[in-house]
Structures are given as structure tokens and as C-alpha cells.
Amino acid sequence: MAIAFILACIVLIAIIVVQIGRVSELSAKIRGEEEAEQAANRSSGRLMIPFVVVFLVLCVASAIYYKNWMLGFGPLESASAHGSAIDSIFNTTTFFTAIVFFATQILLFYFAYKYQQRPGRKALFLSHDNKLEVIWTIIPAVVMTFLVVGGLDAWNMIMADIPVENRSVLRPQGEDEFIEIEGTGYQFAWHLRYPGEDGVLGTKNYRKISALNPLGQDWNDDKNLDDFHPSEIVLPVGQQVRVRITSRDVLHNFYLPHFRVKMDAVPGLPTYFVFTPVKTTDEFRKGLKEYPEYNVPDPEDPEKMLWETFDYELACAELCGTGHYSMRRVVKIVEQNEYEEWLRGQSSYYFSSIRNSDEDPYKGEVLDLEKKERRLQFSDKLETVLAEPDSVQRIIQFDYVTFALGSAKLTDETTYELDFLVDAMKKYPSMIIQLAGHTDNTGDINMNVELSQARAQQVEAYLVEKGISETRLSSKGYGPARPIADNDTEEGRAKNRRTEFEILSK
Amino acid sequence: MADTGTITAPQKYNEETLIEELGYDDHFHDHHHGDKYQSSFIFHYIFSMDHKMIARQFLITGMFWAVIGGLMSLVFRLQLGFPEESMAWLKPILGGWITVNEAGIGTLAPEFYYALVTMHGTIIVFFVLTAGLSGTFSNLLIPLQLGARDMASPFLNMLSYWFFFSAGVVMFLSLFLSTGPFSGGWTAYPPLSALPQASTGSGAGMTMWSFSMVLFVVSVLLGGINYITTVLNLRTKGMSLWRMPLTIWAFFVTAIIGLLSFPVLVSGILLLILDRELGTSFYLSEIFIGGSALDHVGGSPILYQHLFWFLGHPEVYIIILPAMGIVSEVLSVHARKPIFGYKAMVYSILAIAFLSFIVWAHHMFMSGVNPFISNFFVIFTLIIAVPSAVKVFNWIATLFGGNIRFTAACLFGIGFVSMFISGGLTGIFLGNSAIDVQLHDTYFVVAHFHIVMGIAAFFGMYAGVYHWFPKMYGRLMNETLGRIHFWGTLVGAYAIFWPMHYIGMAGVPRRYYSFDNFQAFAHFDMINKFITVAAIIVFALQVLFLINFFYSIWNGKKLTTKNPWKASTLEWTTPINPGHGNWPGRIPTVQRWPYDYGKGGNDYISQITPEQEWEREYDEAH
């Protein structure tokens, strides 16, 4: 129906158009060809000046109306250090081109108006003027030189990579440190990666990509183990950032409009962009507050004003397929302490998602990193227990120490936990402890008591071997006598099979 | 600028008899008895080898594609301007690409939005502004303005059209694929274009796109080699290179650029086809897509971009140079003045053509090429501003002191200059790589190239159509409708594209199906609505042109004189409806340059008029 209506409209318009044409020709015939031509000429000539005046006025008026959207003005001031250089070249270029624009448009339409055909007028025979031509060749050449030099100066500054002697760290401080983060485009989102405590991003191999390993990180590379994958970019203000930009499938473009950052993500060819954010999200919001267009309720969240819900954004600026328009991530620029706090909430992708899965090459092994962390946990626990009043029983359980099945032989890989205790005994030379073995209630009770006794003694022997005086140590096997959980469930029984030590005196 | 009114030239010569008196007898009509070999309908109108008929074929085919490409832009403009409005009414035409929900609200599928954007670009750039513009006017004017009977090889010329036609057929058929036409952008960057699993349009749609493009390039090359040969070999006696009209200079240089750059595109596409079909890795490396890692390693998507833009940038000059040539000619004729700085115009065409080959990577500042390399491309790119500026100043100076007839052709010529200034100046921003960091792939770019090579080239084309319509059909187009067409389009085109600069400065990326996902890009509902409405109006005005054009073919005012515009070039010395061979008897010999307007008080002096006594004194005095 709608289509038929449109077709009918088109036919109608066509008829009208043809009629206009006919009428104009008819009237020309009546008035005489020449006179009609002159009249038509005059009417077009008359339009030249109003057109150029209205056009140029609207150009200026619209520019004023939209000035808050322009580079380097108002709320969209660059939020990065290099961005203001871009904005300033933009404005210089606008200045020069505006002069040329106004001059040439005015002359074009003014000449058209002034030299319109008039009866009796003779055109000037003017085929060239070398002097004039040389002048208007040289002037643009000089202006261009000026713009090129300014532009390239900024370009080479902006695109310069970080000097090799600078250090890549997770918490950059000052000039010679930077943080390197990674953005990987895929259809249709950005996957973000931070380097972790070592400050270095681990290596990747696209053949290792799987549902569990979205970036194809090589877990044999230790540098990968602490890398984490946040859902938004959070960066400390005033510190240099190098973004490594990669793609998993097609071309994407890592685009941070507020920071004047833009670079293609190319499969097989990592690119980069270096920038320094200079305004926190909060500061930028405060800036927006000054502008009426941001003092309207956010349609998504009508409780708040637009400026309050503002966030920096990461977008894609290279056509990558159907979902190209939806690759958004939020970017937050924060003060150093907030950044620290945010970092504490992040956990390594390896440890949270890969560890002990089938893809983990270290499945079943204990990593140095884990030992380090467990040492911290151990000493935390020890300090907590020591701080408690003497009336409380001070028992600490070994979480990781294991024995060979049905025997008292310590598993070599797990003795590291006993080393924590060795160090603690050395730190507190007057501490006296008793080692205790426990079992669950299955099997022969005597054998259980015997085994738990043997295991406690084995631990004691290990400590002695490591140089702790026997006088500070004793051991006891309790068998199933002291359960800490319900022996009716497998879970409870597992908890009850344990080795621990009691601090008898500090 | 001496007073020229005092010298009155004696008009000794009668133009009507000049050709027979001074013309050159090539015994053409002794060999060609009538138009025997194209007397039947099929060989006259369809498989014609006559350059004038081929020109009209190019023009009308170009118009067909312009309508298709224009309508596509309206559909995606509706999506951008009125995303909440139902598009269910388009379902009868677009079928499955419109999903209608239970409430009866129809939405445009994003993959089809991208297909529309891609096809709009491909069609307008190649089929309309390359074939429709250069194809039409090179064919029409090269033999006519040079005093040749036809092209050097009429047969290749015919093939050129039919290759273009076949390219069009393939592209047209791809619109009806169930997976849709190609949707990866007119630049067809791999890996998106190379991997069918990356996008539905990258399957059969891309296969047909690349096949169509190869056919199209064959057409351009056949045409181009013909234009070059004709210009170099078939100029009539006296038509030295420096006596050629600027139109011919422009077409000649355009053909050379095309001949040098289009083959590079074909090699680029060929390697892409190999990557797609035979599992090579020219452009592909380390890709994980659709749940599996591909075997391709070692290729580079950037290589394709180099090959593409090695054509792609000269391509914009392939589009704009013919328009520049046409406008130079039209402005001069209708201002009744010689084109200002003829030699400077020629040298600037040559300079632009040369520079067009060494600036391609300015499309790739943000592609991951070494930033150091960009330095050179910035320098060469901004140098182009100099010859471009010279041309603009010369056009304005051509108007100065004229006696301007505001025919539709002349108005479009003036409009062209205005557009070229507006769009050219924004090129200075984008060519400067530092500014390009922010503006690259935003609406600022869309505004820039639409104004400078879209609208401007269309204006050049309209100027040409209005001006040479009498030569094509022996009738005049309606001038009143032409003027309405001009003023409406001028205002409307600025209304569409001027506001896009602001959206672009705000950082809004192009090729977004919707802006709602981003706070930063969601502020421009009003502008987007305004642009869409303006686009619809401007499209309607082009319909007015089409009606005028087709109505005038059969019902336009008949020409009563050979030379309706009183122009000095050779095409106006042919009969009103020139037959095969263009001149019934001898071919004219050329006695002077093509821009003797207003010389010594004469309105114009035709190129076939021999130099007269008074002129020597006159030339010395000037």
C-alpha cells in the first residue's frame, strides 16, 4: 500500500515537473526568447549574493552553535597530554582554511553576481597574469609548509614509541616508567589485558586460543601467570601508558575519542599507541557540569544528570562486520590510590580460570608464585594466632603438606609448607610447639593412631633436620579422636585427615 | 587589461564554409558509405561502435546506477536519522532484510545496513563517477573536440561499454543473494573481505563483488587505452597539444592515471581471490575466527591496503579531473571569457596527476604502517593543495570581468567550484597525520570526500550534461527546471554534508549502524534527522533532473543552430545531429587555441577561424 502511494506521488511529481517545464517554455515564447533568457539570468544573478551571505552566516552560526563539540573547545577538550597538540594544530588549520574559505566563496559568488550578463556588456579578454599566478601559487605553498612542519612535529612526537631504557611496570611512577596494557579486538568486543605485578605482558600464540584461553596466552611463559583481564580500562592519572593493540580475527581500531588515540588492530601485526591521561574521570565530569547540555537527566538513568554518568569510552573505528558499532568498553582514569585499590580487586586470569584445568601445563605442581603467596598466608595466620590471648588454644593446620598413601612418608613437593614453619621457629626462637596428626574414623583405630603418630614424628624429624632444636618440638598422634568435622560425609572426613601444630608457648 | 572595445575585428570568414575551404580531406566518406554497419536497430542503439552512442550508453547506465546508489543511501540514512521509526513499509522491497516484530515495527538488519553502505560506495565511486562521468564525456568529447571521426578503436570502445555493463549485471545480481551483497566497505579490506566466516556478505557477495570489479577494470583499461591513443594520434591538423581544450587534457590525463593505477587494484583483488579460494596467505596471518585457528600465517592485511590505495587515491582524481576539465570549459564558455591561466591549468592537472601516485598511504596513517613513512605522505599530500588552489583561483579569475550567462551548466560549474573549495579545504586537515589521529574514520571524513569528490564531481557531471545535451540529442534541456535543480541541490547538498563536520569533530565514527551504544556518540539525533530529511529532498531534486533529461530527449526544444552556446570548440562545428564520422564532409583544421572569447570585442572566435591580421598586433599589445 505504502509503495503504491509512493509510486503515485512520484508520478504526480513527474507530471508537475513536466508542466513547470512546459509553462516556462511557453512563457519564454510569449515574452521572446532573448528577454526570457535575460530575465532568467537576472533571477539567478540575484540569488548569488543572498546565497553566499546566508551560507556563510549559517557556517559561522552553526560553528558557534556546535562549538562545544569541536576539538580543543569546551567539554571535549583532550584528556591526554598529546591530544592538546592535535587540537592546537586543528585550530591553526581551521584558522588558515577559514580565511581561504571565506575569501574564495565570497569572491566566487560576488564575481558571479557582478559580472552577470547585461545587455551591451563586453567580457574582458584576460587570459592570464603571470605575476598574479605566481603570487597565488606561492602563498598556499608557504602556508602549507607551515602546516606540514607543525603537523609532522606533533605527529613524530605523538607516534614515538617509549624509549627502550624506560621500565614497564604495573604501578608507574614518574617519567621513566610506564604501564603497558593490551587491547585485543575480536568480533565484536575488546578483550583487555594488564601485565600483573611483573609489569610485563606474557607472550601469546593464536593457535593456543580456546574457550578457556581467549587470547592464546602461552602458560609456559611465567610472565603470563600474573596477567589479568579486566572488563574495563582503569589507569592512574598522569602516568604514561603504552597500549599494545592486537586483533584476533579481522581489522579493528582501538579508538579512545577523548584521548585522541586511534590505531588499527591488525591480525598478525601488533601495533601500539602511547599516551598519558591527564584528567581523571571525575575531573572530566566536573568540567562537563559547566555545560547546560550535560545538565539534563541521563535517559538511561534519569536519577542522574548526564555529566554524572559520563565515562570515557573505548570504541572500534575500523569496519569489522555486523557488530562493529557495539564494541564499547568503559575507560576510567583515577587517582593513584584508587588505582591501587582497583588493582587489589583484580586477580590473575591464570589463577582464576586456568590453574589446574586441562590447559594448565603446571597441573599438579606448585608454582613458586603460589609458594610465595602461601608463605604470606602462613605468616598472616601465625601472627593472628600469636596475637590472641594465652587462654586460647593456638592451633595452626598445615594446608598443603601431604603424605604417601597409607604411609608416613612426606611428599617431597609439599614440604615447602614446613619450611614456612622452620622460618617461623627461627624468627621466634623461644617458641615451643607440638606437632599433631589426625585421621578420620574409617579403618582400624589402632592403625590410625599409629599412622597419625608416625606422620607427626615425620614432620618433627623434618624440622630437626632443618636445624630446629628437638627441645622445642614434640609430636603426638590422635587418630580419629579429635574430629573437626562430621565424619559421616566424605567432605568432613577429608577435613579430619590433617596434620597441625599447636603453639605451646611463645 | 587594456581597453579592448576599440579594436573591432573584421569578420571575414563564414563559419559555415570554413570547414570546406580549409578543412582536411581524409576521404572518410569514400570508404564509409553511409552508416551501413550500424544502420540496424541493434547495431545502432545496442552494439554501437559510434563514440557518441557509447557516450550516451555510459551516461544512461550511470544514471541507472546513480538512482540505485542514491536510493540505498536513503535507506541507510533513514536508519541513522530515524532509528526508532518502523521500516516495515520497506518489507515489500527489501524482504528478509527488514525484520518485523510482533508489534509490527520493522527494523533494518545490521548486516544489510553494512551491505547498503558498501554498495552505495562501490556503485557511486566506480559505476557512476568513473564510468558515468569519464566514460560519458571522454567518449563524447575526445573525438568531437579533437576533430576525429571516432575513437582510435571503435570496437574496443564498444567492448569497454559492454564490460562495464557486464560488471553492472554481476553487481546487480549480487544484490539478490540470500546472504546479501558484499558488506565489508567499498575498500574491501581483508581479512573481513577474505573470510566468508567473518561476515555473511563476505561469501558469495564478495565473490561477485570481486568478479564485477575485475570486469569493470577491464572496461576502464579498454576505454583508457583508446582515449590515450585517440588523443595522441587522431588530433586533426593544427590541433597541437597546447591547443586542446582543458576537457581533453583532463580526460587524457585521467586515462593515463587509470591505465597506471587500475591494474594494481586488479592485482590486489587477484591476491584476495587467491586468499579466498586457494588458501594462500597474502593478506592473512594469525587469525582465530569462528572457533578455530586458521593455518594462514605470514601475510599482511596492510599489503592489500597499499595495493588498494595505490589505485584508490588516484581514483579520486580519476573522478575529479574530468569534472575539473568540464567545469573549466563550461565556465569559460558561459562567462564569455578565456579560461584564466590555461597553461597553469594544464600544469596543475599534470602536477595533481603525478602527486596522486605518491600520496596513497595518507589513507593509512592509522593502519599500523611505520609512522616514519607517514612523514613523506603528509608532505606530498599537502603539496597537492598548491595546484588545487591554483585551479580554484583560476576559475574565480575566469569569472572576473566576464559577461556570465547563468545557464544551468554554468550554475553547476560555479557550484562545483564552491564545493571543491569547501571539500578541498577539509582535506588539509585530514592530510595532516596528526589531525588525522582524531578525525580518521569519523564523519569528518565522510563530509570531506562527499563534498570534494561526490557532490563536486556530480556538479561537474551536471554541468557537462546540461552543456552537451544539445550535442547528444539535438535538443535543449529545460533551463527553468535546470535552475531549480541547481539551487535546490546546492543548498541541499550543503545541508546534508556541512553538519557532518561537527559530528566528525565530536569523534563520531563512520559506518555505525546505531549510535546508542556510546554516550559520546549519542548526542546527535537532531542533526542526523536533519541530514536524512535533507538527503531525501536532494534525492527528489535529482528525480527532477532525470525527468527533465528524459523528457527533453524526445520533447526538448529543438536546436535551430549548430552552436547554441556560441562556443569556439570543434564539437559545435558538426551538424546538429552528427552522423557517423561527425563531419559530413571534410574534417576541420584547427587554427588557434580553444578559448578566444571576447578577444578584440568579438564574442568568440571559433577554433577553425584562421588567425587574422589585427590579432598579431593585439597579442603583442597584451
In a domain, A208, yes or no: yes
Count CB atoms within 10 A of the CB of residue A128.
Answer: 18
Exposed e or buried b for every residue in A357-371, given b needs 16+ CB within 10 A? eebbebeeeeeebbe
Mutate to test the interface with B, among A126, A143, A253 (most CBs of B within 10 A): A126
Q: What is the CATH number of the domain that holds A461?
A: 3.30.1330.60
Structurally, how many domains does chain A consist of? 3
Q: What is the pTM of this model?
A: 0.91
Query: Is residue B301 a part of any domain in this protein?
Result: no
Is B479 contained in some domain?
no
B426 touches chain A (CB under 8 A): yes
Nearest to B519 among A14, A123, A313 (CB): A313
Do residues A320 and A373 both lie within one domain?
no
Residue B370 lies in a domain: no
Please give the full DSSP string across B235-303, using - where no structure is assigned.
PPTT--GGGS-HHHHHHHHHHHHHHHHHHHHHHHHHHHHHHHHT---SS--S-EETTEE-S--S--HHH
Put simply, the chain B residues between 122 and 141 with a CB less than 8 A from any chain A CB are none
Res A486 pLDDT > 70: yes
- When comparing pLDDT for B47 and B242, which is higher? B242
pLDDT-based confidence at A26, cuts 50/70/90? confident
Asked if pLDDT for residue B14 goes beyond 60, the answer is yes
Rounded to whole angstroms, what are the CA distances from A122 to A399, B332, B338, B599, B609? 106, 14, 13, 10, 21
- B103 is in which domain, residue-wise? 46-241
* A287 & A313 share domain: yes
Q: Which residue of B has its CA nearest to A260?
A: B438
Give the type of residue at B554: W
Claim to verify: residue A247 and residue A111 sit in the same structural domain: no
Q: Model ipTM?
A: 0.93
Q: pLDDT tens across A250-262, in order?
A: 999 999 999 999 9
User: How confident is residue A33, by pLDDT bands cut at 50, 70 and 90?
Assistant: confident
Reported confidence tier of residue B82, pLDDT bands at 50, 70, 90 = very high
Residue with cell 535543449: B476
A315: closest CA among A438, A411, A133, A189? A189
- Nearest-angstrom CA–CA distance, A249 and A268: 9
Share of chain B above pLDDT 70, in %: 96
Residue numbers of the domain that contains A498:
368-505
State how far the Cα of B442 lies from the Cα of A117, in Å rounded to an integer: 43
Percent of chain A's residues with pLDDT above 90: 53
pLDDT of B601 above 70: yes
- A404 and A255 together in one domain: no
Domain assignment of residue B582, yes or no: no
Residue A436 has pLDDT above 60, yes or no: yes
Q: Mutation target for B interface from A322, A327, A329, A330: give the one with most B CBs within 10 A.
A: A322
Residue B220 forms part of a structural domain? yes
Whether B110 shows a pLDDT value over 70: the answer reads: yes
Q: Is residue A3 part of a domain?
A: no
Cβ-based contacts of A126 with chain B (< 8 Å)? 1, 337-338, 340, 397, 400-401
Chain B: give the shortest CA distance to residue A98, in Å. Answer: 9
Beta carbons of B513 and A76 less than 8 Å apart: no
Each residue's pLDDT tens digit, B488-500: 999 999 999 999 9
Give yes or no: residues A190 and A149 share one domain: no
Q: Is residue A345 part of a domain?
A: yes
Reduce the DSSP state of residue A261 to 3 states and report it.
Answer: strand
Let me know the angle formed at the C-alpha of A325 by B93 and B289, rounded to the nearest 5 degrees.
95
Q: Is residue A9 part of a domain?
A: no
Give yes or no: residues A218 and A327 share one domain: yes
Disruptive mutation site among B505, B513, B561 for chain A (greatest number of A CBs within 10 Å)? B505
Judged by average pLDDT, the poorest of B94-98, B150-154, B544-548 is: B94-98
Kindly state whether residue B599 falls inside one of the protein's structural domains: no
- Domain shared by A320 and A282, yes or no: yes
CA angle at B452 for the pair B118 and B392, rounded to the nearest 5°: 165
Does residue A140 sit in the same domain as residue A186? no
- In the listed set A354, A377, A403, which residue is the last one of a domain according to the structure? A354
Shared domain for A145 and A187, answered yes or no, is: no
pLDDT at A2: 64
pLDDT tens digits, A83-107: 999 999 999 999 999 999 999 999 9
**Phi, psi angle pair for B194, to nearest 5°:** -90, -20
What integer pLDDT is reported at residue B9 of this predicted model? 47
Whether chain A has a CB inside 8 Å of the CB on B288: the answer is yes
Q: Which long-range CB contacts under 8 A does A205-209 form with residues at least 24 apart? A: A206/A248, A206/A267, A206/B286, A206/B287, A206/B288, A206/B293, A207/B293, A209/A248, A209/B288, A209/B293
Q: Taking residues A290-307, what's their average pLDDT? A: 88
Of residues B368 and A368, the one with the higher pLDDT is: B368
How many Cα neighbours within 13 Å face the side chain of A366? 17
Give yes or no: residues A136 and A231 share one domain: no
Lowest mean pLDDT among B96-105, B311-320, B459-468: B96-105
Contact A21 B367 (CB under 8 A): no
Q: What is the CATH number of the domain that holds B77?
A: 1.20.210.10
The set of cell numbers assigned to A387 is: 596475637
Region A375-396 average pLDDT: 87
- As for how many domains chain B has, the answer is 1
How many A/B residue pairs have CB atoms within 8 Å? 381
Amino acid making up residue B126: F
Q: What is the pLDDT of residues B269-303, one digit of tens each?
A: 999 999 999 999 999 999 999 899 999 999 999 99
Residue A394 sits in the same domain as residue A478: yes
Which pLDDT band holds residue B124 (cuts at 50, 70, 90)? very high
Give the model's confidence band at B37: pLDDT under 50 very low, under 70 low, under 90 confident, else very high: low
pLDDT for the residue numbered B38: 62
> Is residue B69 a part of any domain in this protein?
yes
Chain A interface includes B539 (CB < 8 A): no
pLDDT (0 to 100) of residue B446: 97
d(CA B245, CA B56): 21
Pure H helices in B400-431: 408-430
User: Mean pLDDT, chain A, as a whole number?
Assistant: 90
- Assigned domain for B210 exists: yes
pLDDT for B3 beyond 80: no
Reply yes or no on whether the pLDDT at B621 is more than 90: no
Domain membership of residue A110 (yes or no) is yes
Chain B, 465 to 494: residues with Cβ < 8 Å from chain A are: 478-481, 483-484, 487, 490-491, 494
- B521 vs A contacts (CB less than 8 Å): 315
pLDDT category at B191 given cuts 50, 70, 90 is very high
SS3 B97: helix
**Domain-embedded: residue A235:** yes
Query: Would you state the torsion angle of the CA atoms of residues A104, A107, A109, A112, taken in this order, to the nearest 10 degrees?
Result: -130
Q: Do A142 and A197 lie in a common domain?
A: no
In a domain, A309, yes or no: yes
Best mutation target, A69, A135, A330, to test chain B (most B CBs within 10 A): A69
Q: Is residue A392 part of a domain?
A: yes
